[in-house]
Amino acid sequence: MRNGLMGYLVLAVIAASLFYPALFIGQAHAQSSGQLFSVDLLCPIGNPARQQWCSIIQKSLQQVGINAQLTYAPFSTLIAHVLGPQSTWNESFSQGGYDIAFIGLYNSNPLINPARWLYGSLSTFPPGINFEHFNNTQENQLALQFVSQPGGNWTAWAQFYENEAKILPAIPVAYPDAFDLVAPQVHGMSPKWQSVDLQAQYLTGMSSVVLAVPDTIPDTSATPNYFAGSVYYDQEYSYQIYSPLIALNPSTAQLVPSIATNWSTPDGGHTWYITIRNNARFSDGEPVTVNDVIYSIWSNMNPEFASATYGEWINVLGTNVTFTWLNGTTTVLDNPPTYQICYPQVKYTSGSVTAINSTTIKIQLGFCGGRAYGVFPQEELTGLFIVPMHIWESVPPSELKSSPMITGTGSITVTLPNGTVETVYGPVGSGPYMWTKNSFDKTADAITLVKNPFFWNATALESQGLYQVNQFTVQGILQKDTAIADLKSGSVQIVDFNYYPTIERASGEFTNQPWVKIVDYGPGFGGWQIMAFNMYNPIFGTGVATPLGERDPAMAAQAAQDVREAMAYLIPYTEIINGLLAGYGSYGSAYTDPAYLGWNLIANNIPVYSYNVGEALSLLAAAGYTVSYTSGLQLSGPSHVNPGQTISLNGKFYNATSGQPFSGMSVEIQESTDNQTWSTLANVTTTSSGTFSYNASESSQGAYYFRAYFLGRIEPLTRNTSVTAQALPPYTSNSVEVTVGQVTTPPTTTSTSTTTTSSTVIIAVVVVVIVIILAAVLAMRRRR
């Protein structure tokens, strides 16, 4: 009986759905049909504030019909997708590529010549930091014009960034300010400290220091060696392990000797002679030699090692480089470029790196058409960290990523030049701190380093009262509140600036507290946060899949440009800067930051976007899309009143995506007699719940129309700049028609008819269902 009845009930439901399908579908279908296109947003987990603005921007895109899906992932996952092999450049996230990624960049050394960031140049495309896979002929020519002069052609440099800001391969979201939260007992963190990366040997006041960073440690597939240069949080400990060829003093930001004691160029930067010290040793006791320096350059340029600085070195030495070792043997690296390295095609001379003697190295830049191919100022040598050739060459490059030098787990045995066997548990360098067997605590998500007993500069630092920290730990703590609580309890001594504890600072949480002091690095030193586009994407990269691009392929590039600009207008900048960052930041506008060399040349010549839904919709329409927008400004009122009777108008102003009310906003109540020409009756202010009301009255008979109108709101970005930006765009509510006096055609007739029809249909459906059920019951009785 039950099974038979259930079968008839299923038939009844099916029958009902045939008569009245809107009862079962309707809304879901309506939402899906309004989507313009789909896009995957990739957001790294290592920054709580960025995670929030990723979500805000996702909702803003969804509000206009873009099906934006958001994925949070470790930074190493982002890098694997964003800087993946060329076969993935035109693929979506699920296929190994990406659509849009949120990335933070910062200048570890603002003194380094900005040519290294000209990612459109032929030599650094595709490697290097060209997240967007951006290749533009005009930009390439400007990049080459910049490097055509020994000191840099700054006119070309400025034009490069101005053009880029118009082309928009990436949208600068914000320039966050940088400040660390530090235990008062820790000293030695100067305002210039952030610009030269963390150097624990300069800290004083405590023998053990723990630095909290908002990421996993190591960052999944990222590495504890300096080839993980793309992952900021791993640099915090890897930079303690390795010594650079030349260093920067953290107090003065001036160049000082490190592994190199002297460096000079006789021809304006085309040829360099570098002398290395003879007393430097790695943490295993082996001496640092000229071969180690040459090997470090060679491994950076060998694509098998996947160095983050691969493109930078090719940019100055070329793609065919000869390395001459101390014993006179040579190694040639031939890396055919994706694009012709000399542009336009002219005579090209390869670069070289040569051991002159046991302490001297000669670096010869590649030449193109009689000039040095790239710009190589002395500051570049601060980014060359020296690795031990006697350990690295024992592991094939293809196996390096799974070795202890990268993973920090397990061990390998290495035979030293003197024949002794050494056990290696992790990365080995000549820096102030070293990796030990117990450095990596996976459970605590922490890496702890201890003093390197062979550090070449220990005596000099100790004589100055420095090098007091015996144990330095970098601990991954994803939650900002947890990191601050640990600082307060004393288990953490430094909270990294990337937590952006701006709201807490603005509210006074750290003011006059005995457990914390603030080390400010100032505006611009927090880098720049971008929303990077994959320029191979068929909608906003090439434009071939936009409606306009499909109709007219010649207009595809313009359509893609329109879509990118539309998204730039959909970022609520003031909500991010004044809200999430509590004003500790400034308006993003160029693919560099205010702390960088040459900023003043471009600051006033680049377009500035503001949040403007209307502009975004216009640009999307220009790209061929049929656009619509649900206003968060709603108004209701009576359909009929007598002459002189009060017309009670009630409304609400809210975020149509999140439902959050807009309180304290001035809204105009407007009236019209033709539903086209409007006059303002009054200004009202929304309540804390976003509601407002107004009572109107008309003595003459006729049809009157009422609406609410919001003019938009401009907010100053006041903490570090006088720039203002649109925080909310203009909004217009629905129109309410009110008939005053005799009603010739009741305005509710259609609605009543519809309701009656709907009710009739529902009654009919119910009758049909009842009949089917009764029939089923009778059938069962007959069977019994």
DSSP 136: -
Q: Which of 334-343, 579-588, 593-602, 672-681 has the lowest mean pLDDT?
A: 334-343
Question: Which of 123-127, 424-428, 638-642 has maximum average pLDDT?
Answer: 638-642
The residue whose two tokens read 């400290």 is 193
Q: What's the token pair of residue 211?
A: 């630095």
Distance of CA 7 to the CA centre of its chain: 55
DSSP helix/strand/coil, 575: helix
Q: Which of 244, 352, 355, 351 is nearest to 291 (CA)?
A: 355
Angle in degrees, CA 378, 253, 207, rounded to 5: 120
Whether 610 shows a pLDDT value over 90: the answer reads no
Q: Which of 575, 568, 559, 612 is nearest to 589 (CA)?
A: 568
Whether 754 shows a pLDDT value over 60: the answer reads no
Tell me how far apart the 2 most distant CA atoms of the chain are, in Å.
Answer: 110
Count Cβ atoms below 10 Å from residue 319 Cβ, excluding itself.
Answer: 19
DSSP 204: B
Handedness of CA 593, 45, 85, 623 (dihedral sign): negative
The confidence score (pLDDT) of residue 768 equals 53
The residue whose two tokens read 């990191």 is 483
Q: What's the token pair of residue 451?
A: 């003093």
DSSP 287: B
CA atoms within 13 A on the CB side of 299: 24
C-alpha distances out from residue 580 to 48, 50, 53, 572, 573, Å? 10, 9, 8, 11, 10
The residue whose two tokens read 């994706």 is 338
pLDDT confidence bin for 171, thresholds 50/70/90: very high
Whether 124 shows a pLDDT value over 50: the answer reads no
Q: Which of 65-74, 162-171, 390-399, 712-721 has the lowest mean pLDDT?
A: 712-721
Distance, in Å, from the CA atom of 86 to the CA atom of 195, rounded to the nearest integer, reads 33
Question: Which of 76-85, 272-281, 297-306 has maximum average pLDDT?
Answer: 272-281
DSSP helix/strand/coil, 671: strand
C-alpha distances out from residue 348 to 128, 318, 340, 521, 643, Å? 21, 9, 10, 43, 89
For residue range 211-240, what is the model confidence (pLDDT) as tens digits?
999 888 765 444 444 444 456 777 788 889
For residue 2, count CB atoms less than 10 angstroms from its CB and return exposed for 0-12, middle for 13-18, buried for 19 or more: exposed
* Percent share of the chain, pLDDT over 70: 75
Angle in degrees, CA 324, 330, 336, rounded to 5: 100
Is residue 301 within 8 Å of 363, Cβ to Cβ? no
Distance, in Å, from the CA atom of 736 to the CA atom of 321, rounded to the nearest integer, reads 75
* Percent share of the chain, pLDDT over 90: 42
Distance of CA 11 to the CA centre of its chain: 53
Q: What's the token pair of residue 518?
A: 């603030």
Whether 752 shows a pLDDT value over 60: the answer reads no
Distance, in Å, from the CA atom of 526 to the CA atom of 635, rounded to the nearest integer, reads 44
Domains and CATH numbers, the chain: 2-29+752-783 (no CATH), 38-175+525-622 (3.10.105), 200-242+431-506 (3.40.190.10), 245-395 (3.90.76.10), 633-740 (2.60.40.10)
The confidence score (pLDDT) of residue 147 equals 62
Is residue 31 within 8 Å of 783, Cβ to Cβ? no
The confidence score (pLDDT) of residue 206 equals 97
Residue count of the chain: 784
The confidence score (pLDDT) of residue 325 equals 98
Is residue 536 within 8 Å of 90, Cβ to Cβ? yes
> For the chain, what is the total number of helices (H) and then of strands (E)?
20, 38
What is the arithmetic mean of pLDDT over 240-264? Answer: 87
Full-model pTM: 0.74
Is residue 558 within 8 Å of 543, Cβ to Cβ? yes
Q: What's the token pair of residue 468?
A: 């007091």
The residue that leads in pLDDT, 383 or 750, is 383
What is the arithmetic mean of pLDDT over 444-469? Answer: 96
- Amino acid letter for position 344: P
The confidence score (pLDDT) of residue 267 equals 82
The residue whose two tokens read 């989507």 is 35
For residue range 689-701, what is the model confidence (pLDDT) as tens digits?
999 999 999 999 9
Q: What's the token pair of residue 729?
A: 């765009």
pLDDT confidence bin for 536, thresholds 50/70/90: very high
Task: Round the average pLDDT of the chain to a whole number and report it.
Answer: 80
For residue range 416-433, what is the model confidence (pLDDT) as tens digits?
878 889 999 988 999 999
Cβ neighbors of 629 (< 8 A, separation 6 or more) are: 63, 64, 613, 617
The confidence score (pLDDT) of residue 542 equals 96
Distance, in Å, from the CA atom of 188 to the CA atom of 251, rounded to the nearest integer, reads 8
DSSP helix/strand/coil, 174: strand
For residue range 77-111, what is the model confidence (pLDDT) as tens digits?
887 788 777 788 888 888 899 999 998 876 654 44
DSSP helix/strand/coil, 333: strand
Is residue 309 within 8 Å of 300, Cβ to Cβ? yes
- In degrees and rounded to multiples of 5, residue 5 shows phi and psi of -65, -40
Q: Which residues of 160-173 are buried (b: 16+ CB within 10 A; e: fewer)?
A: bbbebbebbbbbbb
Q: Which of 180-189, 284-293, 551-560, 596-605 has the lowest mean pLDDT?
A: 596-605
The residue that leads in pLDDT, 395 or 285, is 285
DSSP helix/strand/coil, 635: strand
The residue that leads in pLDDT, 434 or 368, is 434
For residue 649, count CB atoms less than 10 angstroms from its CB and return exposed for 0-12, middle for 13-18, buried for 19 or more: buried
The residue whose two tokens read 């207008």 is 569
Whether 723 shows a pLDDT value over 70: the answer reads no
pLDDT confidence bin for 518, thresholds 50/70/90: very high
The confidence score (pLDDT) of residue 349 equals 64
Is residue 241 within 8 Å of 427, Cβ to Cβ? yes
Distance, in Å, from the CA atom of 482 to the CA atom of 479, rounded to the nearest integer, reads 5
Distance, in Å, from the CA atom of 654 to the CA atom of 46, rounded to the nearest integer, reads 31
Phi-psi region of 646 (alpha: psi -120 to 50; beta: other; left: phi over 0): beta
pLDDT confidence bin for 731, thresholds 50/70/90: confident
For residue range 17-55, what is the model confidence (pLDDT) as tens digits?
333 222 222 222 222 336 899 999 999 887 888 999 999
